[in-house]
Chain A
């Protein structure tokens, strides 16, 4: 009788196919590698609009206005509310107690702080690169009504930020 072949337990694992896969993944990831100054945390409450603009974003004070609240430089500042209009349809709005006329008081205080801070840095470094230019990055949800955007812009304007950069998803690569 023929003896059954003994199966060797110390057979080497064949990792060639895994290597093939890794090589493809590596090339794909290297292609999508990016070192952009800003990042966007996408969520259901915060969807940026699409645009054909191809201007690269630069670092500046970052104001995120989502459907539920306002975030300044990564720190949550305040919540937004919903108000019904004459026809009963609900619109996202800044709560009345947070406003003085068109100005959002808490946002104004925070932005003024940021402006003072940026000016101190500009004075200390005395370089053209760090000069305070009043630039502000606005990341807004695409469904927000213009009234909310207007109030945020007005407040930023009062706090010496008058150059707005609206962050969008670019459709041109």
Chain B
């Protein structure tokens, strides 16, 4: 049959309109592409004003958890019930609660964030309703340490619940004026 023979001859597909479309789409998508994901960490300044009366059960004093950052490590304050179960007051020259592997800490990565998160996990077990941590960094502490510290105090990525969510520790970060 004549018709069948005509079908058998392959016509090259005209790809030019597709090419036109793609060459317009590619610059447009390149402009709008983002190769890094941005995120934010919320934080507030310490509230200024008259103290707010908070109803707390008398048998449980409020936890005023603070983490001071020096160039020697992290000092956790305000959780003596967990840190010193015997009630012994910490001496002033005891050094940081979570010291760096080598002192003074040379890089942001030399701080021991893992041990701090473990310690905060224990504190969270005792105070499950508390969500605020006050950070008190020294003047010379790099900003990167502050961010990594906020990560360490916010959640424990190694402890996941059934839904695969990390355990929340103290997500409300307040940055205090700073020591020195």
CB atoms of A55 and B40 under 8 A apart: yes
A99 to B: closest C-beta gap in Å: 14
- A16-30 near B? 1/0 per residue, CB < 8 Å: 101100110110011
Q: Which of A46-54, A74-82, A104-112 contacts B (4 or more CB under 8 A)?
A: A46-54
Contact of B38 among A35, A40, A140 (CB under 8 A): A40
- A148-163 near B? 1/0 per residue, CB < 8 Å: 0110011001000011
The yes or no answer to A129 lying at the interface (CB within 8 A) is no
CB atoms of B15 and A15 under 8 A apart: yes
Number of chain B residues whose Cβ lies closer than 8 Å to a Cβ of chain A = 44
Residues in A whose Cβ lies below 8 Å from that of B43 = 164-166
Contact of A56 among B35, B39, B138 (CB under 8 A): B39
Residues in A whose Cβ lies below 8 Å from that of B146 = 146, 149
The yes or no answer to B8 lying at the interface (CB within 8 A) is no
CB atoms of A30 and B29 under 8 A apart: yes
Number of chain A residues whose Cβ lies closer than 8 Å to a Cβ of chain B = 57
CB atoms of B26 and A57 under 8 A apart: no
The yes or no answer to A123 lying at the interface (CB within 8 A) is no
CB atoms of B33 and A33 under 8 A apart: yes
Contact of A168 among B12, B34, B39 (CB under 8 A): B39
Distance A57 CA – B36 CA, assembled complex (angstroms): 13
Contact of B32 among A19, A35, A53, A157 (CB under 8 A): A35
CB atoms of A53 and B41 under 8 A apart: yes
Interface residue ranges, A against B (CB under 8 Å): 12, 15-16, 18-19, 22-23, 25-26, 29-30, 32-36, 38-40, 48-58, 85, 91, 137, 140-147, 149-150, 153-154, 157, 162-170, 172-173
